[in-house]
Structure 1
């Protein structure tokens, strides 16, 4: 790879040693090795059979307990006609059955697509179609999404009951109970590993969905090799071992919980405390009751906990791992809850590069002391023109310290190593859209992150923002185009322009929509709320509305958003009516400071 000239004098000599160790571990699993997640799982069962793998409420499931149920799932999958290489989707909330199904299917070489349990309608249909799934295992808690979905006729939908969240009989009519019955009657003895003999480390293992600029979910491919390597690298980074207890309350269909938590815990032979969803009231109780030592976070969770608690009890938490923690919140966390290691990182589900702060340097998401030992590059980007800056030869220009640029990952194509590969999506078109070619020289190729970062004189990196129309709210990527399409058929609306606006004290951006009504039509806030609740998950529904007299269009009839985003929902900057989404009133209410304070606009819905 061409040397782009980005040179930094290391501030801490040990950082490069840590990076070298991580790099060596990342390439421990060879691409063509007959070694999969199922093989790693079996090794841990053989070594830690009686050790707790899952703690769920008052239940304790050992490695061997989970393995026995997974064996039954594997046999049931075979009985239902699934074989190595097939894709099976699953829609399950955080409960032990998620792992039973996951590890059972990998035992027979089946690729698993993790469906977002909040997605419904056309987005759900598209997600299933994009995966190429032969069947979908549907948790009873998600039955209503499938009952209401159109265009799923002919697809095998297998029910997995849920005693905690039973569905009504109407929602269950479209689901087949044969798979669940096959599980309960199957033997718990291990299946023959030869059933997955055709599967190698570089074969696809799971599909995790990520929002794209098209507005519909894209299925990112995760190979066995990349999943295993991520866990091995994190185990070394945080010095995890069998004594650790990981706290998992983020949804398992997300990359953070499915990879960072699960792969690291499995690599270390550790225990996972599984919670259905985040509970602010139970957080420190859970930490103390289960003696949790490692917690995966997103920045909003940390801020939510800081606002809720004055201090923490004596606890066992030794480190937290995640993204979205700025320097101010970082310092508050340590001051209020005590000293612990914070591993702030940067990356993406489909990323072929990443960063991890291993120095406890507040606010940073990682450090690069030597550019020759990383495939990450930061290039200049013109935000106003929405294009890359180029030199006289037409190549992209590397950023210098202090400059904001887009992060790119050099794509390494080597049959002997997995590091630096871009595994892409199930859609070849979507994969190609994320690749930049001839970046620094003819013939090179880079993965485009869509993220803006910067670094200081000591090589510490900081996340700045997302490029384009996709923004993050409540830890989810939201596509403005998807929201606009979903709400575009609202009665009386002539035009809707969706964008993200900054909310003080919150990570990411909240959705806001500028609406132009048809002549002679009035805005109905209750009807619009009902439409958002019907068409969109909570996190994607616009939190603010602005009723405009006319649309701000370019000469090519493209919607302008820059000025709207700068004005946000500030009534002093917006000389037009502003509304706030209130789920209690099931309506959009006129802007009011007291209403804004009462709602809090929390990015994490807590089980209080």
Structure 2
């Protein structure tokens, strides 16, 4: 950590005038982030209807040449809502939603929120047994499928426990033309015609603890966990980001290329837009080459990011007009300190609303004061405690209590579980309990284990350091090592595997690496077939970049835990690794032996991972 990143009192006082100028919004956002009233209607449906009433003619959503006012989008969502209610769906039910970033997804999510139905937002890169697990985990009463996801759903449909109809959106402008639906699916765009477009009464029957979304997150247990994201948490994000941190207005438009099955786009970016009565410009997917063209075309004044997105933009060839764009604010997480200031200067960015939280977390930080190289400030109760990496546990003193780190030190981030900051947990109670530490500082207290190492840089500000345990981040996604190990162990010649994340210079997060024990010599493996098999079972970000072949077997501890720390330290360094190493280079379709020349190219940044 650079000494300049530590926040001192003079630094803090220098930012106070700017904060005072936004004091009304900060106070409102702070109050909303601490809401405890379980009888007050809250959530996405309530907020969206409020904005639609106040700003009906304002542009709510744009994608390519399609634009929707708040009035139009609200009416569309209402028709879907009334149709779903006609099917017998009601508050507390779950609907599986498998659509890419497009207006049909936005209208569907609003409709479910208004009805009080929980939308299980499936990661659109899931397929095979992972997709089956994710859908069956939440026992949906219906499924809403986009044409773009039809093939992966059909491949496993016979294994899906959906207690109701499969609804369908064609991959086109379905408001203009519903298009045809395949056999066995109900054309949702067609059947909503003639349904009422008035706001349903059910909108004002969603409260603090009522489920809003299921967002899937990879964890240490392997297959994805369905995080319960309720209306209260959305309301707190709506206040905390929309009014306190991001601060958009009616004239602002936020460009979002992030997938809406993740909370950064779905909650942080979108809630900020709704709070400001601005417009969301939604991209189907990220394109570094088209990014600034789209920003300028739609006059976007803000955009959402994860760290890798900013790096991809930064690595594009410099242009004289890089700073000639309308963007003044960016919001997201994972902007690397190594490019933070350079990125702001090159693209003319005034404010970086970096934040830290997780889909299931009860603690959040936002960069309210616009400091560099920090996830920001947190108003809620948290603690950063000393952590023993070798023992893989927090340290405790003689009394059995955990120990807070000092200023400038790193440790494990915990969020205190209280009425104001509850931990809503997962669909599996056992997984929920495993994420909680008890008797941390006093008998009877409870704290959520974020699984992240953070550094205390003073005045309730923190700096992200790394993730712990069996999950690592790559390409802005959480990768479950256990899930990848399960797939590897079922693939071709693999007898045993251990998966971990390793750092590649110049990249954000950790690339996947697997140590493998094979049933044959590595030279006899059909690596093309092996690579193709992994690609069929895993999303691209989860496919290991490196393979280390160990004929002697995977080393374990006395309690049969894999010795990952040593593997992480040795990485893919051929001077330290005595085993053969294979690599899947960017753009390649087959693993190839890692050579000193290729390793040098990787370390020098010749290959763009």
1:58-115 Cα offsets, whole Å, 9 max, x none, are 1211111111211221122123221222111101100000111111222222111111
Equivalenced residues, count:
581
1:284-335 CA distances to partner (integer Å, 9 max, x unpaired)? 1112111111111111111111110314051110011111112221021123
Matched, 1:352 2:369: no
Mapped pair 1:208 → 2:218: no
Aligned to 1:416: none
2:536 to 534, 537, 541: 534
SS at match of 1:569: coil
Matches within 5 A, 1:184-195: 185-193=193-201, 195=202
Q: How does 1:425-440 map to 2 (within 5 A)?
A: 425-440=426-441
SS in 1 for 2:418: coil
Q: C-alpha separation between the residues in 1 aligned to 2:226 and 2:508?
A: 25
Structure 2 counterpart SS, 1:286: helix
1:547 equivalent to 2:555? Answer no
Secondary structure at the aligned position of 1:456 is classed as strand
In the alignment, is the contact (CA less than 8 A) between 1:74 and 1:108 conserved in 2?
yes
Q: 1:397 corresponds to which residue?
A: 403
Residue 593 of structure 1 and its aligned partner are, at CA, apart by 6.1
Q: CA deviation at 1:354?
A: 1.0
Question: In 2 relative to 1, CA 175–483 (structure 1 residues): closer, same or farther, beyond 3 Å?
Answer: farther
The change in CA–CA distance for 1:460 and 1:26 in structure 2 (over 3 A counts) is closer
Show the counterpart of 1:3.
none
Q: Which residue does 1:388 correspond to in 2?
A: 394
Kept after mapping to 2: 8 A contact 1:10/1:459: no
SS of the residue corresponding to residue 527 of structure 1 reads helix
Partner of 1:288: 296
Matched, 1:159 2:164: no
Q: Distance in 2 between matches of 1:104 and 1:421?
A: 26
- Describe the SS at the equivalent of 1:497: strand
2:3 maps to none
Aligned residues of 2:167 and 2:185 also touching (Cα < 8 A) = yes
Matched, 1:55 2:62: yes
Q: CA deviation at 1:30?
A: 3.0
8 A contact 2:357–2:363 mirrored in 1: yes
Shift of 1:339: 4.2
2:189 and 2:490 map into 1 onto residues whose CA distance is 40
Looking at structure 1, the residues matched to 61 and 77 of structure 2 have their Cα atoms a distance apart, in angstroms, of: 13
Q: Report SS of the residue matched to 1:284.
A: helix
User: 1:240 Cα shift?
Assistant: 1.6
Separation in 1 of the partners of 2:476 and 2:68? 29
SS of the residue corresponding to residue 97 of structure 2 reads strand
How does the TM-score come out when normalised to structure 1?
0.90
Report 1:36-435 matches (<5 A). 36-149=43-156, 150-152=158-160, 155=163, 156-163=165-172, 175-183=184-192, 185-193=193-201, 195=202, 198-236=205-243, 237-311=245-319, 312-367=322-377, 374-413=380-419, 419-435=420-436
Q: Summarize the Cα distance change of 1:247–1:113 in structure 2 as closer, same or farther, 3 Å threshold.
A: same
Q: How many angstroms apart in 2 are the aligned matches of 1:389 and 1:153?
A: 44
How far did 1:44 drift? 1.2
CA drift at 1:36 = 3.6
Alignment correspondent of 1:463 = 464
Q: Which moved more, 1:511-520 or 1:137-146?
A: 511-520
Judge which range, 232-241 or 91-100, deviates more.
Answer: 232-241
Superposition CA RMSD, Å: 2.5
Tell which has more relative contact order, 1 or 2 (C-alpha 8 A, sep 6+): 1
Mark the CA change 1:470 to 1:81 in structure 2 (over 3 Å): closer, same or farther: same
Q: Secondary structure at the match of 2:386?
A: strand
Q: Which residue of 2 aligns with 1:4?
A: none
Shift of 1:403: 2.2
Query: Larger deviation: 253-262 or 237-246?
Result: 237-246
The CA deviation at 1:214 is 1.0
Relative to structure 1, the CA distance from residue 154 to residue 251 in structure 2 (aligned partners, 3 Å threshold; closer, same or farther) is: closer
CA change 1:354–1:584 in 2 (3 A) is: closer
Kindly indicate whether the alpha-carbon contact (under 8 Å) linking 1:248 and 1:257 is maintained by their aligned counterparts in 2.
Answer: yes
Q: 1:26 corresponds to which residue? A: 33
Question: Does the CA-based 8 Å contact 2:169-2:187 persist in structure 1?
Answer: no
Measure the CA separation in 2 of the matches of 1:188 and 1:29. 33
Once residues 258 and 383 of structure 1 are traced to their aligned partners in structure 2, the CA distance between those partners, rounded to angstroms, is: 34
Query: How far does residue 523 in structure 1 lie from its aligned partner after superposition?
Result: 2.8
Distance 1:172 1:474 in 2: 34
Query: Judging changes above 3 Å, is the alpha-carbon distance between structure 1 residues 34 and 565 closer, same or farther for their aligned structure 2 residues?
Result: same
- Residue range with higher mean Cα deviation, 574-583 or 431-440: 574-583
CA offset at residue 10 of structure 1? 7.7
Among 563, 582, 591, which residue is 1:579 paired with? 582
Matched-pair contact (CA < 8 Å) for 2:585–2:607: no
Structure 2, unpaired ranges of 5+? 1-6, 175-179
* Inter-partner Cα distance in structure 1 for 2:204 and 2:248: 31
C-alpha displacement at 1:374, in angstroms?
3.2
Distance 1:583 1:294, change over 3 A: closer
Q: 1:339 to 1:519 in 2, by over 3 A?
A: closer
1:6-32 CA-partner distances (Å, limit 9, x unpaired) = x99685146698776643231357332
